[in-house]
Homo-oligomer: A and B are copies of this chain.
Amino acid sequence: MPEILEQEDNQLRLQQINAAIDSGMFVYVRNLFQEMPAYDLALMLESSTSKTRLVLWQLIDPDMHGEVLEELNEEVRKSILKNMAPEKVAAVAEGMDIDDIAEVLRTLPDSVYQQVINTMDHQDRTRVEQALSYEEDTAGGIMNTDTITIRPDVTVDVVLRYLRLKGTLPESTDSFYVVDRNDLFIGSVSLSSIVTARAEVIISTLIDDDVTAVKADMPEADVAQLFEKYDWFSAPVIDENGRLVGRITIDDVIDIIREEAEHSLMSMAGLDDEADTFAPVVKSTQQRSVWLAVNLVTALMAVAVSSMFEGILSELAILAILNTLVPSMGGVAGNQTLTLVIRGIALGHIGDSNSRLILYKELAVGFLNGLIWSLVIAGVVVLWKQDISLGLVIAFAMMVNLTVAGASGVLIPILLKKMNIDPALAGSVILTTITDIVGIFAFLGTATWLLSP
């Protein structure tokens, strides 16, 4: 019976490796690394500080460097490439898939890029430059060029004999592409239909109607959606003239799906989705401070609004104490709606046809929640301070703010999307600014009107 995989304890191994490096047992670590798949080595590098990372990198078998680079997240990969000589980068690139070499080269500074390209042999250079001619986030940018093509008029028997002669197939081949003499794409034939067909069957009769080609300039997010929609394992890529130029396999698509899903989470906290968990302190501080600066400006706007009510705040200290309550609840309620709508837009649930429906729905939810929490908070305040007018003031402000929060949670991301601004990045700040300002106005404004001594 073969080895049965249990989820290895990456953390435990990391601990052992760190201990071994601390005591200088480099040979031990080098041997350990030789038995680990590239994915695990990449995980290990991503889980280390930038200093340890460079030591670990040196201990990885250079033959594995290419594969490990492929698996690394962008920021960590950059930090490693920065420390490599151009000839070394070129040497590593030799063993890599074309789409991955292109991805690596894209992250290099121009001068290093030229040096790397110059050290490559002619054939590699042409292939890489062709791959680089496509935009990064398109079908052309993620495709591989190692396709197997066949003519429509040959028989199954001819294909099988050709395959036996060839001996091996490109990784994850599940189908062959049928092209004419000019490389024009005709269709796709699955490996399984070839092995189940009789020997004399003509290839053109086996073409799979469900598989259509994607254009090289299609955005990668659309490619990923097609893969999910039709449960494809691979798809042919054609240029603007209908010529076959490569194929995309599902393992590349998985990376896109994961990155997209992570993007919203990270952006909503003002982080880059490729952020290096263990980036150096100064770099992290710089990256975070932009977001903190934006938030300081919005917080100061809230302060400016409060300061308009300095008079009543100095007369009634209880207003100062309760002043955070309404903005805080509005922020939470608004962020719930915002998150739902951002996900809805990303999944294709929300668009022009039903944006009004979701607005009505969230307005109603905001109003109902406003009603519930107005009553609760009014009850708390009346019991605590024995002051019915104060209870009324805060209840009214809460109603207004939660309703506004519901509307803003829908409108902000939809408007940002129309303006081509990423709602996940900017939505939360704008929303909080609105719920802060409306909350303070509603609370202190009503208080000035009803409670002024």
Contact = CB atoms under 8 A, between A and B. Distances in A.
A242 interface: yes
Give the oligomeric copy count. 2
A185 B266 contact: no
A250 interface: yes
Nearest to A226: B5
Contacts of A336: 269-271, 288, 291
A126 to B, nearest CB: 26
A352 interface: yes
B353 A12 contact: yes
Nearest to A307: B321
A25 interface: no
Contact of A2 (B174, B212, B282, B344): B212
Interface in A1-32: 1-7, 10-12, 14-15, 18
Nearest to A363: B281
Interface in A355-382: 357-358, 361, 364-365, 368-369, 372-373, 376-377, 380
B296 A329 contact: yes
A66 to B, nearest CB: 15
A247 to B, nearest CB: 14
Interface stretch (A38-46, A84-92, A103-111, A445-453): A38-46
Given A281-B365, A347-B46, A332 B266 contact: no
A253 B253 CA distance: 12
Interface in A321-352: 321-325, 327-329, 332-333, 335-336, 338-341, 343-344, 347-352
Interface in A247-273: 250-251, 253-254, 257-258, 261-262, 264-266, 268-271
Interface string A143-179: 0000000000000000010011011110111100000
A14 B296 contact: no
A238 interface: yes
Contacts of A388: none
A25 to B, nearest CB: 16
A193 to B, nearest CB: 8
B295 A329 contact: yes
B195 A11 contact: no
B185 A173 contact: no
A197 B163 CA distance: 8
A289 B327 CA distance: 16
Interface string A170-204: 01111000000000111100011011111000000
A214 interface: yes
Interface stretch (A57-65, A116-124, A128-136, A227-235): A227-235
18 contacts: A2-B187, A2-B213, A11-B352, A11-B354, A15-B353, A39-B228, A47-B349, A173-B192, A174-B191, A233-B233, A268-B268, A271-B340, A281-B364, A285-B368, A292-B332, A296-B373, A299-B328, A313-B320
8 closest pairs, A vs B, by CB?
A261-B261, A320-B320, A11-B351, A314-B317, A269-B339, A15-B353, A39-B229, A7-B222
